[in-house]
């Protein structure tokens, strides 16, 4: 299946928001996990108020995948700096959020998206990191990342 990867635009922001909501539901990052994480909060405060605002400021980048004419995934990534709300390692590239639609997994889209984001960051720095869910470590290893054993303050493995 062919995949197209491109950067977020104002025209694709609403569709990217819908992908973000699907991602949150898959991870159960919603009111079932925490009553404060209702859909309105996820949309207005997290996607629009955080990611979209930081994207418009140039502090984060967003890449999207498209398959068969529909958006199928996203990566939110940045170069850590005081301009970002997440500045763990100033000057390092960081993949903040990453998701491929479950129906599109296992077809190379995630790897292609990870490579795209890494290339974009490597144009600005030679150091990258990510924090990952233990269930995703195999995927990230297949993409060339290696586990360091470091623990992020949010208890995610780096």
The DSSP bridge partners found for residue 132 are: 157
* pTM, entire model: 0.88
Per-residue model confidence (pLDDT) at position 35: 72
Give me the half-sphere count of Cα atoms (radius 13 Å) on the Cβ side of residue 53: 11
121, two tokens: 């960051």
CATH topology of domain 4-142: Aminopeptidase (3.40.630)
- For tokens 């060339």, the residue is 144
CA distances from 90 to 39, 83, 115, 117, 146 (A): 32, 10, 21, 18, 20
Per-residue pLDDT in tens (0 to 9) along the chain, 158 residues: 689 999 999 999 999 999 999 999 888 876 666 778 888 999 999 999 999 999 999 999 999 999 999 999 999 999 999 888 888 889 999 999 999 999 999 999 999 999 999 999 999 999 998 887 788 889 999 998 888 877 665 554 44
Q: How far apart are CA 119 and CA 93, in angstroms?
A: 10
What is residue 54's predicted lDDT score, i.e. its pLDDT? 94
């Amino acid at each position: 299946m062919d995949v197209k990867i491109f950067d977020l635009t104002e025209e694709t922001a609403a569709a990217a928001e819908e992908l973000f909501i699907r991602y949150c539901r898959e991870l159960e990052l919603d009111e079932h996990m925490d009553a404060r994480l209702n859909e309105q909060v996820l949309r207005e405060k997290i996607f629009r108020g955080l990611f979209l605002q930081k994207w418009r400021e140039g502090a984060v980048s967003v890449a999207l995948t498209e398959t068969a004419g529909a958006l199928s995934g996203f990566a939110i990534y940045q170069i850590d700096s005081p301009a970002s709300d997440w500045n763990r390692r100033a000057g390092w590239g960081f993949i903040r959020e990453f998701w491929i639609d479950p129906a599109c997994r296992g077809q190379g889209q995630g790897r292609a998206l990870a490579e795209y984001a890494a290339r974009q960051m490597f144009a600005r720095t030679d150091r990258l990191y990510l924090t990952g869910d233990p269930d995703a470590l195999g995927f990230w290893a297949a993409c060339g990342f290696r586990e360091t054993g470091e623990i992020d303050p949010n208890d995610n493995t780096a």
